[in-house]
């Protein structure tokens, strides 16, 4: 399973010092912690028009330069907003990593939207992912360590799946999990690599007051490869009818869905076998049940 890595202390005072030292034109703008926060990066709002994004550990540093390079390219080709980099910071004032300044994007993260029409939302997300796949990949970053192997074959995490099942023992239906995993690893993406986001989670999808998708954020695990990992939203956030709408809108074949199911299985298993708290265990247990039982993904 993934292990904890050392993390620097990141707070609003640090952001103020970094901005003052490297971007004095923005010095004095109020700094506020963004809620909710991510795990790979910490985000702070800078004034009303900007945000500051700082990797929380060394393993996430590769995403900084990558996003600086690919976000403008993708932003010009997608119908929803993506973060626009406006500044690249360097290690300073005790903070050891590069960091970035972006344009602020208004919106509500999907999992906090009130009365969200998830069927319509699923169609919106599926359409954007189809559009993302159609963008010429050019010299886009091929899936690998920088994307935590999203976009690669799910077998990259075979050892973690086995270790999680060994740890969980009778707490999960091992035979059912192994069937899903075998199905997931029985095929591979055989066409040219396509753009994938890598972390299509409700916290990275912004909606407006009417519940329409308006932005896709956090491209730290993006790249070019197999888009299967972008489909895990089907089990982590969408119910049966919405999963069906998502599958229709995204337009991918059954083999890709089988690999996606494997990605969702892997994540739920390692979280259940790891240090997840009671609330997180309930959430990931529900995802695992959806992965094992959902007929939308069955061939």
User: Does this chain's domain 12-103 share its CATH topology with 108-297?
Assistant: no
Per-residue pLDDT in tens (0 to 9) along the chain, 299 residues: 444 445 678 999 999 999 999 999 999 999 999 988 887 899 999 999 999 999 999 999 999 999 999 999 999 999 999 999 999 999 999 999 999 999 999 999 999 999 999 999 999 999 999 999 999 998 899 999 999 999 999 999 999 999 999 999 999 999 999 999 999 999 999 999 999 999 999 999 999 999 999 999 999 999 999 999 999 999 999 988 999 999 999 999 999 999 999 999 999 999 999 966 666 888 999 999 999 997 655 54
Q: What order do you get walking across the sheet with 205-207 strand by strand?
A: 108-109, 205-207, 213-216
Please state the domain extents for the chain.
Answer: 12-103, 108-297
Could you tell me which CATH number the domain at 12-103 has?
3.30.200.20
Give the pTM. Answer: 0.93
Answer whether 286's CB lies under 8 Å from 276's CB.
no
Longest pairwise C-alpha distance within the chain: 60
Task: Given CATH 2.60.40.10, say whether it is the number of domain 108-297.
Answer: no
């Amino acid at each position: 399973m993934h292990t904890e890595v050392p993390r620097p202390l990141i707070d609003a005072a640090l952001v103020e010092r970094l901005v003052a030292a490297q971007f004095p034109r923005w010095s004095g703008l109020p700094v506020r912690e963004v809620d909710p926060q991510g795990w790979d990066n910490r985000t702070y709002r800078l004034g009303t028009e900007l945000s500051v994004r700082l990797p929380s550990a060394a393993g996430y540093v590769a995403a900084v330069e990558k996003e600086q390079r690919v976000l403008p390219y993708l932003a010009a080709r997608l119908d929803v907003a993506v973060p626009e980099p406006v500044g690249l910071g360097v290690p300073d004032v005790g903070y050891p990593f590069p960091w970035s300044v972006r344009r602020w994007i208004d919106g509500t993260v999907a999992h906090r939207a009130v009365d969200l029409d998830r069927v319509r939302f699923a169609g919106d997300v599926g359409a954007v992912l189809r559009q993302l796949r159609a963008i010429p990949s050019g010299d886009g970053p091929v899936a690998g360590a920088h994307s935590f192997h999203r976009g690669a074959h799910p077998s990259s995490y075979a050892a973690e799946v086995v270790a999680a099942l060994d740890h969980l023992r009778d707490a999960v239906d091992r035979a059912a999990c192994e069937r899903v995993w075998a199905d997931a690893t029985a095929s591979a993406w055989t066409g040219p690599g396509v753009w994938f986001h890598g972390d299509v989670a409700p916290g990275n999808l912004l909606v407006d007051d009417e519940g329409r998708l308006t932005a896709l954020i956090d491209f730290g695990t993006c790249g070019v490869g197999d888009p299967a990992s972008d489909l895990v939203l089907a089990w982590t956030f969408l119910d049966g009818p919405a999963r069906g709408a998502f599958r229709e809108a995204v337009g991918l074949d059954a083999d890709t869905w089988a690999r996606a199911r494997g990605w969702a299985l892997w994540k739920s298993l390692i979280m259940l076998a790891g240090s997840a708290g009671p609330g997180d265990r309930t959430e990931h247990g529900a995802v695992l049940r959806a992965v094992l039982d959902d007929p939308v993904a069955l061939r």
